[in-house]
Every structure is written in structure tokens, then in C-alpha cells.
Structure 1
Amino acid sequence: MTADTLQATASFQHFDVTTQPSQGVTHVRALRDEMRKLGLDGFIVPHEDEHQNEYLPDANERLAWVSGFTGSAGAAIIFMDRAILFADGRYTLQSREQTDPSVFAVEDFHATALADTVSVAPRGSVIGYDPGLVSSFGLNALQAAADGAGVTLKAVSPNPLDLAWQSSGGSARPAQPMALIVPQPLDYAGVASGDKRTHLANVLKSNHIAAALITAPSSLAWLFNIRGGDVIRSPLPLGQAILKADGSAELFIEPAKISEGLLEWLGNEVSVGGPNDVQASLKVFAGQNVLIDADLSSAYWLEAIQTAGAAPLLADDPCLLPRACKNDVEIAGTTAAHIRDGALLTTFLHWVATEAQETLPTEIEVAQKLESVRKAGPKNKGSDIRDLSFDTISGFGPHGALPHYKVNVASDLKTAKGNLLLVDSGGQFLDGTTDVTRTMAMGEPTLEHKRMFTLVLKGHIALATVKFPAGTTGTHLDALARQFLWAEGFDYDHGTGHGVGVYLGVHEGPQRIAKALNRYALQTGMIVSNEPGFYKAGEFGIRIENLQYVTEAEIPEGGERPMHRFENLTWAPIDRKLIDVALLTPTERAYMDRYHARCVELLSPLVTPEVRDWLIEVCKPL
């Protein structure tokens, strides 16, 4: 695997020149012209694309094109007389900055936001949707709302937004990505694709399922031990696959994406076809059960199974849990990647604590510095960074209070002493995906800064050190991270932890730690983030984030039940200037001392003498 094939420094962060609304009036007018031709009174624009991706190739940024909003989650409904953009609390400021208020009303994006809007549309309205963009699960909720309101939901093809975009002259739609698909060697994958397929095929066979239609890019990457470059920040290939109950499979990808040696890597039990071949292949299963994940696959594919005469069986993508439960090789790889990245992050933190305290850089300069440090990291044996795992969140002062703030040229703040700098960042490495947040004091922190930081830290420690019975979900653990904030009358509006892949997506399900109900138990090998926070609107934000994975816990003598615990992955010092030691218990202080001692042990050999001396100093026992 060569660096040029893998695009070792592909598509690093760019900063928008402005946050001004992006031609909202013109683009909405063009969409309404196409809607009128189709007899539509409204049209639903989800953020997700045909592959239900969170991060999108430029060609699939439909929501951004029509509204100007570039967040990673949201949706819109465009009516003839009004337009609504839905964005959640992470994007409160950004959604309003990027949209034209004369065109878009911005409302909170929650689980039933689209269905609620459909349910109050005028009776007799016809609201269009693209079945290729809406999941089967989501469509069911929309249809129920429409039926109750006397509204007609109409599947439309071609998509009127795509038609408007394609005919928009200077801002014509970009071409679909055609990045080469390459093998992910066993040194990183740990288990051969044939073994994965055999295991899953046995599950299908035992449940009398003839095949599974797989459309999630991360599942394709994991199942066939391949990686691509079609999706920004994630090494994912776009395509579909049919996994059969005999262990063979068909992979449907654009021929231009086939790299040299890929077909040999896939082997004789995997046939490769083009995207237009899926329908014909499904006909083989007429009268048989074909599994499809109604949450991860678009409604288009459910209809395709039915059209082929097969019986769709709605169930989890068979790759979902096996992909989430990392094998020993993947755990070892991501452990190594996190140590290397921890050394790079520590070099950056040293810069923040020394030079940046005098030069007081802007938010963009902070993000650029961290990126330059990561790009200058080790390059032996494929250890170099391949991409960021998401656009760096570099927020100073009031911008730190926006959990998913994305700095741009117009919003770029210069740091100043007396407030906090929050940096959330990560990298994609061949052996792992990192995601880490550190909050740092610029100058001397206030008593309020220290108090709130320490309350967040206490929650972080509680979640890092908990033991829990097998079968426990992230929902059960979420309150541990919030308890100290709750006790003082505070909270935060995002989840506490999300799943993370291994050289895959930085946001990966099905596991999650959040207030919202999650039905998937935390199992050995699952990676989750631990990131409680506090945000004081207009003033400052705090978040402390490490990644950790689930492993078995020792059962004390007399214990009766299998137990799990978390093993830490992320190693980088936590700003001791922000810790009010008096608020920590002896057990919490001991944890921090152990954590910092381990940082010194793992990272000292990988940094310069100057950074090592600083690291030893800031990691002294509390």
C-alpha cells in the first residue's frame, strides 16, 4: 500500500471565506420551479445522502446547496410560500449565520421534527420526497404523519433539487467522487474478509435468510477489508453489496474505483459489478427472504427488494455489531495510533501553553498549528496521518460555548488572556481513528472556569472508572458523567459518548452514551468517547474528551455477575491550571495522578526534549 494510492495527506481542513447565506433565495427559487412542474406543494431535503452518510462528498451536499447550512446534521422542508431549516443545539449560531432569514425559518431538529411539520401541513397538500435519500424507518414516520393530516407524500424521481442544482449555471453540481478503493491489509484488519463473510452467512442461514443487502459504506469497508476516499474525513467507499447465505458476495461499485490488485484481494467468492447491476442480482432471490436495515438503508432499496419479488426482512445490518466489537488486532492498532497521536497533540498543547500565550493566535491559526503538527508526524510503516477525522473545532471564549462550532474567516476570533480555548480534533491513521478534546486556559483562569472545569472532570473520571454488568447500555451510564453538574443545577445538551471506528468513521454506531434510549449493550471491543462538557452561552465552553474501549473487568471475590469496564485510549495532559484540587476526592486525585504518570511514560520517548520537560512538569502529582 503506497502513500500516493492512499492519498496520505488528502483533503485537510479548509476555512470558509464567509458565513454569509449561500445564494438561498436563488437556489430555493430554482427548486420551487422544479417542484411546480411536479405538482408539489412541498419537498423534504434531508442532510443524508443515498448512503445515509453523516459526512458527505461535495456532490451530495444537497441541504448545504439549497440553504447554505453546512452542519453535519439537519434537514429542511421547502414549501411554496415558506421554508424551514431544522438544526439541533450544536448548530444554533451556525444555522442562523449561514441561512437567509428572509427565506428560512430555523427550528430545532429533534427526532419527530419532520413528521411534526408534515402533520400540520394544509390538508390536501402534496409533499415530495426522494426515496433514495430517506430511510425506510424515517419514511414510515413521515407517512403516518401525512395520513393523519390528509397530506399526500409523493415519491419523486428525478429529484427536483438535483434538477435545479444541475441547471444552476455557475454553481452546477460537482461530479460524484471516484476515489480508488484499496485493500486494508490484515495487519490492520485482523480478520480476513472470507472469515467475516462465513460467520455472517452462518447467521443468515440459521435464520432462513437467503441474503442481506448492505448499503452502509462503513459496512462495505469492514466486510471486504477495503478502504476508499469518497467521503470527506472518512476512508469510505460508496457502493452496495449482497451477502449470500453461502458466504459468497457481490460488490457493486463504479468500475473506475477498482485499484490495481483489488479484484485479487477480494478473491473468487466476491464478484464485482456496477451500481446499476443491483436490481438484476436481487431477482435471483425472488420468493426468498432478503435482509435489509431499515435505518441504514434508503427506502429505495426496500422497494427494490420488493420489486425483485423477494421478501424484505427488516433487521439490523449484519455487520453492525461485529464491526463495533473490535478484534485484538484492531484494538492493538488503535492503541498504537492513539499513543502516536497523543505525542503530536502534546506537542501542540506545549505550544498553546508557551508560545501561544504570548502571540495570542486566532482560532484559525490554532487549528492550522495543530494540523501542521499532525502532518509533520512520523511517516514510517504507514504511521502518518491520512486525513483529519473531522474538521477541527477551535473555539475561543464565546465560540467554545458552541459544541460544534466551525471557525471561518468571518468568525475567526483572536485569543486573549483570561478566557478558555476549546479544541476538539482527530486524525485518520491506517491503524486507528482518533478524537480528542482539550480545554486550555489562556492566561490565568477565573474561579468560575476552574469550578466548572472540575465538575466536568469529575464526571469524566466517573465514567472512565465505572464497572458495569454485562448487558448495560450507554443510556444506563450517561448520568454518571452528568451527576456533578446536575448537583449544581447544570447540564449539557449533547450526548456523553459516541462510537468510533478503526480507520473508519469517527461517529460509528450502534453504541452510544446519551440520555436517549439505546438498546445496544456495551460489549467487549466497542470504542466510545467520554466527553462531558459545560457551555456558558456567550462566554466560554468546556469539554474533556478521551476515547476508551470496553473490556472485561475483574470480578471481586464473592461477585456473581460478569462485569465490564473501560480501558483508556487517549493520552494527553489535562490542563492542571483549570483543576480545583479541593473539589476532587482522594480517589479522583489518585486517578488523575495515574493518568498523567501514564502520559509521561508513553509520550516522553516520542516528543522533543523541550516538550518532554514541559510534559513532566505539567503531569506532576496533584
Structure 2
Amino acid sequence: MTAQSFPPAIFQSFEEKADRKTVAPRLAALREAMAKAGVDAFLVPRADAHRGESVPASDARLAYMTGFTGSAGLAVVGAKKAGLFVDSRYTIQAPAQTDTGKVKVHEWLQGGLSPQVADYVPKGGTIAYDAWLHTPAEIRDLAARLEGRVKLVPGPNLVDAIWTDRPAPPVSPIEFLGHNRAGQTAPDKIAEIQHSIAADHADAVVLTLPESICWLLNMRGRDVPNTPFVLGFAIVPKKGQPTLYLDKAKITDELKAALAGVAKVAASKTLPAALARLGKAGKAVMIDPATAPEAIVAALKQAGAKLVEKRDPVLLPKSRKNPAELSGMREAHLLDGVALAKFLAWFDTAAPKGGLTEIGIVTALEAFRREEETCVDASFDTISGAGPNGAIVHYRVTGKTDRVLNPGELMLVDSGAQYLSGTTDITRTLSTGKPSDEERDRYTRVLKGMIAISMTRFPKGTTGAQIDVLARQFLWQAGLTYNHGTGHGVGAYLGVHEGPVGISPRYTTPFEVGNVISNEPGYYKAGAYGIRVENLITVVESVDFPGYLEFETLTLAPIDKRLIRKSLLSEAEREWLDAYHHRVWKEVGPLVKGKVKDWLKEATGAL
């Protein structure tokens, strides 16, 4: 079977989402708007008001202005020059997408916004920004970094003013999860959050993150790609029903009936008045300064509300998956394991013959996943990196960049799916011929790091920041490393990236039973190849050591043994890998047949 025989992909497009030729005229138009507004510069973030990793087309302002389509970044447009700030994942992608003659690309690794934005404004000048697209924490941090050199002023969004063909905001169907999928009723979840509100001496909390609102109300939608979000806001009082604020077009009789007795529904345009009422009543209102738009905070302050700055109270309980959610996640990973067995068996036959393309590989994988009718979307755009493209950490293949995979090159495929039962995310690095000694060495060191995380046992109270080194140690021993986190939280039929737990120096929230996290160390040699091996894991109680926690692996797919340098593995690591592969065979094997079953038996054999 060849790549061309698969149906076209529907979860992912391969078109260029932006054109660098549009950058110059759009910058000129924005500068005209800035001059009329009397400001010296304007900030253009990747974020929307809901801080989502995926934004609807109507909020893709950074891509509209700069051509850069990555999931994180910020542009500052001054009267004469413009800068684009991205992290290490996008230092190759950003210059390739934007007009570097008009926009200077900066790498900014630290948290917060770079003080270099001041370089684009005359001393004593003004930088305007849309307060709906920035948090109070961001603006405070940037103001401190600027040390009074320039002024930050909120105002209307000047990009929207020049965006004449801006798409309409999304309006998608809304569904509600049954108890078999949610595992907890919305009223019970609301009561839990209301207990947190009272404990923090607040009268209400304003929720702005769609994943928090969707989880709280057992609600899902299709407002953004890859993630079953409904975009909106909510106010949850200490007592009584929450109010959900949505685009008026989303408010239907069916929606009101589904939420009857659980939550009230109101149009988003009434949110400012509701915030003003809270303030005038002298209420103490909880907001998350790291995620709430500054516009909401400013409205509350202006109306006289007392602010209680705390982390979104939904994040932690949402991250602790209950038994029903974990059951769904395990089901999703078993279904994904079947699709991956079919894909990997096909790939092993097709790749050595040559002719496969990155787009063809994405298309094939999606086709195998779509054989399962409960697979409704990808959980993110598949990273399909052949040879040197595998070294681009967040590579997105397009018709323009599509590369033929040559036999003998490494192939990195990082992908995931949204099943009605749960969310998956997996990376496999695949052999297509005889790997070099260097490739086998690097691959094995990455694998050892993944196994080290998988095998670790740790006392309650341990954080991802504390165990991150376990994954990096084997690369460090060879003077190597990788510039991304080792793991991120994953939602249950929600976002493939969620807080507040993960594995990297920035994750300081302790692990708890039910957390689902990715485990994905890697190594990248620019211009040559990329290596990453990723499974999802969940936190469980240790059976043998009271007070300790361990990880259970959720992902069920073979790890390419042909790339392993066996002499680098310890006996314990070999035993773990053999046990993992035995489990994959035992659980996935009965669900496949024919040549796929034969392939899987060989792929999961003892090392």
C-alpha cells in the first residue's frame, strides 16, 4: 500500500497559512493606524483572550501580521522597525516564515516578555497593547523590565482595525459528557470549586481558560482546531449557580436546557456589566494573574472589587483524572495502539522502498486512526520530520516544505488524536535502513532517559522540576542536551497540553495520583536528524512503598529496537523494555490480524 492510496487528510491541512509577501503592506497599514492613535509601537501576541495553544482564525493576529504560525511568540511593531520574539522551538521556523527584511527575529528563552521590545520605541515613547490579550502578570513584568524607558498604554486593537477580511468568531456545536465519561457531575465539580473560593476568602472567581470552563461544566465543543473547546468566560460565585458567558450565536434553547439547574447563560457582551456589579457590591473576586486578561482585572479594579490573585482553582482538580477519566484515557490509548500498529507495519514495508513523503506519512497515519469511528480529530498538527526536518522541534509540514524520506534516514513522527474517550500524544523515531553509530548512540541515550522517568519511584510532594534531570543525565554524560521540557500535562478529551504539572525545571507543582503527563526526552542535530521517544504516563500510588508514587505507562506502541545500542542499556532497562513490549503485544495483539499481527509480534519481541 502506498501513501497515495490513502484518503486525503481532514484533521490537518498542509497549506501555507501565511504569506511573507503580505508582511510589508500590513506593517505599513498598522503603522498608519499607530500614527493616528498617537502611539510609537504596538504589541502583537500569539495569544487570544483565552490563552489557548490553538487560537481560532479570527484571533490569529501574529500570523496575520508577521507570517509566523508557531504556537508561541510576540511581535513589537515600531514606527520604523519590527521585532518578532520566539523561543528555541521556533528559531528556524520563524525566519523561514516572516519577511526578515522587515522583521528581526529574536530568540527569547526566559519567562515573560523581553525588555528588548524597548529597542523598537524611542526613549520616553509609548507601546500600546490590547488589554484582552495580555495578563496583568505579563504587563507588570514587562513594565519592570523596561525600567521606565517607555510607557505601556492599553487601547483598542490596532491590528483588528486594519484587518478588513478578518474571519468571524467560531460558532460550533456544543456537547455535554455523560457520567460514564466525566466521572463526576457538574454540580459536584462546582461545589468543589466553590469550596476553594470560600477557603481563599473570595466571593466569586472569574474563569477565562476554556479548558477550565469545559471541564467544570462537562462541556465540549469545536471552536478551535485539535482541541474540543468552547470559547467563553464564566463567573462562579461562592454560592449559587455560575454564569457562562458565550457569543450570542452559541446560546440556543438546547444549550439552556442542558445547563438548566446547573448554570445560567448570558451573552459575552454582558460580561463587563457583570464585572462592574461585582465591584460595586464590594465583592472579593478571585482571578488568576497568569491567565486572566488585564481587561478583566482592570474592569474589576475600576468598579471597586477586591482582587484575590490565585491560580485558577480548576487547574489542579482537573489535572487529577478520576477513575472514569482514566478509564477513558486507557481506552483511547488502546485504540491508538491499534492504529499505530497498522501504521508502523505499513511504514516498515514502504519506507525502505523510497518515495514516501512527510505529507504522505501524515496522511497514512490519520487514515489508520480514522478507521476507528470514535477518533474525531488530531490532538495537534502531526510533526512529520524526515532526516534534517526531524531536528526542527515543532516542525509543521506544508506543501512547500514537504520532503521525500530517503531510505537510511531517521524519521521522527510526533502525533496524537482526540478520541471521544480521551486524548493521546506519542512520538516515535523510526529506522529506514542502517543507522549510523552516532544515531544509535544518541537514540539509546534518549531512550534511557525515557525509561528512567518511566521506572522512577518518588515520595509524595515531588515535582517535575525535581525529576527532570533523570531524563537528561545520559545525554549530559556525552555533553549533549535538548532545549525543551521533558513532559507536559495532558487533558482527558481536552487539551493535549495542560497545567499545572509537567516535567521540566519550570514545573514546581507536586505530582498527584491521576495526573497524566508526557515523557519525551529528545536530541536534535541541526541539519541532520532529530530523535524523540514519547509515551504518556499517569501517576499512581506505589503498591510496595506507602507514601510513594510511581508512573503507569498509558501509550501502547512498539519502540524501534533497531536503533538501540544494546551495550548502553543496563539489565534493568532491558527488562523494562521487554516488559513494555510484552504488554503491547498482550493488549494490542488480539485486536490486529494478518500481516500487522505478524509485524507486531516481531516488533515486540524480547531485545
Which of the five TM-score ranges fits, normalised by the shorter chain?
over 0.9
**Counterpart check, 1:290 vs 2:285:** yes
User: Post-superposition shift, 1:17?
Assistant: 4.6
User: Post-superposition shift, 1:19?
Assistant: 7.5
Corresponding residue number in structure 2 for 1:141: 141
Distance 1:481 1:292 in 2: 35
User: Which segments of structure 1 move beyond 6 Å, counting only runs of 4 or more?
Assistant: none
Give aligned pairs, total: 597
**Counterpart check, 1:491 vs 2:481:** yes
Corresponding residue number in structure 2 for 1:61: 60
Corresponding residue number in structure 2 for 1:162: 160
How do 1:437-452 and structure 2 match up within 5 A?
437-452=427-442
Q: Contact between 2:30 and 2:162, CA under 8 Å: does it hold in 1?
A: yes
**Counterpart check, 1:230 vs 2:215:** no
The one-letter amino acid paired with 1:374 is R
Distance 1:21 1:217 in 2: 31
The partner residue of 1:331 within 304, 326, 330 is: 326
Q: Contact between 1:425 and 1:437, CA under 8 Å: does it hold in 2?
A: yes
Corresponding residue number in structure 2 for 1:210: 203
User: Post-superposition shift, 1:280?
Assistant: 2.3
Corresponding residue number in structure 2 for 1:607: 592
**Counterpart check, 1:589 vs 2:574:** yes
User: Post-superposition shift, 1:541?
Assistant: 0.6
Corresponding residue number in structure 2 for 1:563: 548
Q: Contact between 1:20 and 1:97, CA under 8 Å: does it hold in 2?
A: no
Corresponding residue number in structure 1 for 2:419: 429
Structure 1, residues 549-603: CA drift from partner, whole Å, max 9, x if none?
A: 11111344xxxx6111111010100111111111111111010100000000111
How do 1:153-552 and structure 2 match up within 5 A?
153-157=152-156, 159-166=157-164, 172-258=165-251, 261-285=254-278, 286-377=281-372, 379=373, 384-515=374-505, 517-552=506-541
Q: What 5-or-longer segments of structure 2 have no aligned partner?
A: 1-7
SS of 2:375 mapped into structure 1: coil
Q: Contact between 1:204 and 1:245, CA under 8 Å: does it hold in 2?
A: yes
User: Post-superposition shift, 1:392?
Assistant: 0.5
Distance 2:50 2:192 in 1: 25
Seen in structure 2, the aligned counterparts of structure 1 residues 550 and 317 have a Cα distance that, compared at 3 Å, is same
Structure 1, residues 528-554: CA drift from partner, whole Å, max 9, x if none?
A: 100000111110110000000111113
Seen in structure 2, the aligned counterparts of structure 1 residues 213 and 22 have a Cα distance that, compared at 3 Å, is farther
Distance 1:253 1:82 in 2: 38
Structure 1, residues 600-620: CA drift from partner, whole Å, max 9, x if none?
A: 011112223210111001111
Q: Contact between 2:491 and 2:498, CA under 8 Å: does it hold in 1?
A: yes
Q: What 5-or-longer segments of structure 1 have no aligned partner?
A: 1-8, 167-171
Distance 1:303 1:251 in 2: 20
SS of 1:511 mapped into structure 2: strand
The one-letter amino acid paired with 1:362 is T
Q: Contact between 1:399 and 1:538, CA under 8 Å: does it hold in 2?
A: yes
Seen in structure 2, the aligned counterparts of structure 1 residues 222 and 22 have a Cα distance that, compared at 3 Å, is farther
Structure 1, residues 282-341: CA drift from partner, whole Å, max 9, x if none?
A: 344321201001111110110121233211111011101011111110001001101101
Distance 2:200 2:261 in 1: 26
Corresponding residue number in structure 1 for 2:5: none
Corresponding residue number in structure 2 for 1:3: none
The one-letter amino acid paired with 1:356 is A
SS of 1:252 mapped into structure 2: strand
Distance 2:240 2:538 in 1: 30
Distance 2:110 2:243 in 1: 34
SS of 2:292 mapped into structure 1: coil
Distance 1:206 1:355 in 2: 59
**Counterpart check, 1:132 vs 2:132:** yes
The one-letter amino acid paired with 1:611 is V
SS of 1:346 mapped into structure 2: helix
Aligned CA RMSD, in angstroms, stands at 1.6
Corresponding residue number in structure 2 for 1:46: 45
Distance 1:583 1:269 in 2: 57
User: Post-superposition shift, 1:22?
Assistant: 4.6
SS of 1:612 mapped into structure 2: helix
Distance 2:33 2:276 in 1: 34
SS of 2:142 mapped into structure 1: helix
Distance 1:222 1:589 in 2: 39
Q: Taking every aligned residue pair, what percent have the same amino acid on both sides? A: 41
The one-letter amino acid paired with 1:109 is W
Indicate the larger mover: 266-275 or 455-464: 266-275
How do 1:68-147 and structure 2 match up within 5 A?
68-111=67-110, 114-120=113-119, 121-146=121-146
Indicate the larger mover: 296-305 or 204-213: 204-213
The one-letter amino acid paired with 1:455 is R
Distance 1:317 1:375 in 2: 35
Seen in structure 2, the aligned counterparts of structure 1 residues 537 and 501 have a Cα distance that, compared at 3 Å, is same
Seen in structure 2, the aligned counterparts of structure 1 residues 269 and 589 have a Cα distance that, compared at 3 Å, is closer
Q: Contact between 1:552 and 1:565, CA under 8 Å: does it hold in 2?
A: yes
Distance 1:11 1:440 in 2: 24
Distance 2:451 2:466 in 1: 16
User: Post-superposition shift, 1:246?
Assistant: 1.1
User: Post-superposition shift, 1:119?
Assistant: 4.7
Distance 1:287 1:73 in 2: 37
TM-score of the superposition, structure 1-length normalised? 0.93
